[in-house]
C-alpha cells in the first residue's frame, strides 16, 4: 500500500480531510508536523505521496502561507527536491497551493530542466487578494483543461464530456487570497502551452489570470489548486446532492477521483 505524508502546522484546518482523502483512495496516510520533518528530513524518503493541506498556517501572518513556505524553502527543500526527482506526486489545496507557489515547488522547472541543486526556485506565481477584496466561501464550477499533463485531474476529462458535467464538476472554495497572478504573460502562456494549467473556473469569481484555478509542474505529478477537493469526498457534501441521480452517487466523487488517480499512478510506477 502506498504511503502518503500530510504536513501540518499551527493553523492548518483541512489536514484530517486530506488524510481521509488519501486513505479512501487506497493509501496509508500519516499526519506529521512540519517541524518534525524539518528535524528529520529523511522521513520524506519513506513516503510515496505528499500533501499540503489548506487552512491558515501560522495564522497567515505576513501573508497567506508565507511562514510555512519560508520554512520549507530554508529547511526542507533538499528533501522535497529529492522527492520530486523520484516522481513523488504532491498536492496542495488552498493554503497548500499558496505554500507550494511561494516555496518554488510550482510551477517547478521548465520542461527538460532539473530542480536547482542548492536553493529552491524563486517564486514565479502568486495567489493574491481576490478581485472583489472579499473572503469567498462557496461551491464553484470547474473545467478541466484539455491536454493538461496533470495526473490528478486526468479522470475529469471523461466527466467533462457528460451532459451533467456542470452539475458534477464543482468544488468548494474558501479563501480571501486566491487570485492567481503570474510573473509575466509570457510565463502564463508557457504554462498553457506546456499543459501545466490543469483547472479553470467556469465563473472567474476571484479574477485569476486566465481563470486559472490549478496548475501542475512539467511532470504532471506536482499539483496545486485553490479549491478543496478533499472536502468533496462524499456525495452528501454536494450542495444539491439529493437532486443527483442515484447511479451517479454510487461512484467516486470528483474530489476523490483526484486522489485515487494519484495513488493509482504511484502503484503503476512501483509495479
Question: What distance in Å separates the CA atoms of residue 125 and residue 183, rounded to the nearest whole number?
Answer: 6
The reported pLDDT for the residue numbered 249 is 86
Residue 114 has pLDDT above 90, yes or no: yes
Give the three-class secondary structure for 27. coil
Instruction: Identify the three-state secondary structure at position 265.
Output: helix
Which one, of 239, 264, 216, 270, lies nearest residue 22 by Cα? 264
What is the residue whose three cell numbers read 499551527? 10
pLDDT, residue 270, reads: 74
List Cα–Cα distances, 216 to 7, 52, 106, 226, in angstroms: 19, 14, 7, 12
Beta carbons of 19 and 43 less than 8 angstroms apart: no
Cα dist from 109 to 40, 81, 145, 194, 226, whole Å: 26, 11, 21, 12, 21
Asked if residue 264 lies in contact with residue 162, where contact means CB atoms within 8 angstroms, the answer is no
**Domain at 3-270: CATH code:** 3.40.50.880
Specify the pTM.
0.97
Of 39-48, 237-246, 254-263, where does mean pLDDT reach its minimum? 237-246
Please say if the pLDDT value at position 271 is more than 70. no
Query: Which residue, among 86, 116, 121, has the nearest Cα to 270 in the 3D structure?
Result: 86
Residue 86: Cβ-neighbour burial (10 angstroms; 0-12, 13-18, 19+): exposed
Sheet containing 212-216: give its strands across: 28-33, 3-8, 49-52, 90-93, 222-225, 212-216, 197-201, 136-144, 170-175
How does pLDDT run across 149-198, given as a tens digit for each residue? Answer: 999 999 999 999 999 999 999 999 999 999 999 999 999 999 999 999 99
**Alpha carbon of residue 142 to chain centroid:** 14
Helix H or strand E segment including 21: helix 15-24
Q: What pLDDT score was predicted for residue 209?
A: 98
Between vectors from CA 263 to CA 257 and to CA 268, what angle results, nearest 5°?
A: 120
Closest by CA to 223, choosing from 142, 135, 166, 153, is 153
pLDDT for the residue 250:
85
Q: What is the DSSP pairing of strand 197-201 with strand 136-144?
A: antiparallel
Return the active site residues. Answer: 94, 228, 230
Q: Domain-by-domain residue ranges, the chain? A: 3-270
Q: Which pLDDT belongs to residue 254?
A: 97
Q: What is the largest CA-CA distance in the chain?
A: 53
pLDDT of 71 above 80: yes
Amino acid at each position: 500500500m502506498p504511503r502518503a505524508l500530510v504536513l501540518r502546522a499551527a493553523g492548518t484546518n483541512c489536514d484530517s480531510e486530506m488524510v481521509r482523502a488519501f486513505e479512501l483512495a487506497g493509501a496509508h496516510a500519516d499526519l506529521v508536523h512540519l517541524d518534525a520533518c524539518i528535524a528529520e528530513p529523511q522521513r520524506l524518503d519513506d513516503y510515496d505521496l505528499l500533501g499540503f493541506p489548506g487552512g491558515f498556517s501560522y495564522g497567515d501572518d505576513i501573508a497567506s502561507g508565507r511562514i510555512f513556505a519560508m520554512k520549507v524553502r530554508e529547511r526542507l527543500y533538499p528533501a522535497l527536491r529529492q522527492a520530486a526527482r523520484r516522481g513523488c506526486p504532491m498536492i496542495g489545496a488552498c493554503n497548500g497551493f499558496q505554500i507550494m507557489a511561494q516555496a518554488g515547488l510550482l510551477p517547478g522547472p521548465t520542461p527538460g530542466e532539473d530542480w536547482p541543486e542548492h536553493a529552491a526556485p524563486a517564486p514565479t506565481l502568486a495567489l493574491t487578494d481576490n478581485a472583489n477584496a472579499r473572503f469567498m466561501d462557496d461551491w464553484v464550477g470547474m473545467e478541466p483543461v484539455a491536454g493538461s499533463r496533470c495526473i490528478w485531474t486526468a479522470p475529469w476529462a471523461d466527466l467533462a464530456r457528460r451532459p451533467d458535467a456542470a452539475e458534477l464538476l464543482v468544488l468548494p472554495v474558501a479563501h480571501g487570497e486566491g487570485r492567481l497572478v503570474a510573473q509575466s504573460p509570457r510565463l502564463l502562456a508557457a504554462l498553457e502551452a506546456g499543459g501545466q494549467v490543469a483547472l479553470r473556473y467556469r465563473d472567474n469569481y476571484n479574477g485569476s489570470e486566465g481563470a486559472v484555478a490549478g496548475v501542475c509542474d512539467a511532470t504532471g505529478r506536482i499539483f496545486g489548486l485553490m479549491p478543496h477537493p478533499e472536502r468533496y469526498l462524499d456525495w452528501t457534501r454536494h450542495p444539491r446532492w439529493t437532486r443527483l441521480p442515484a447511479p451517479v452517487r454510487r461512484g467516486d466523487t470528483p474530489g476523490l477521483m483526484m486522489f485515487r488517480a494519484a495513488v493509482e499512478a504511484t502503484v503503476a510506477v512501483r509495479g
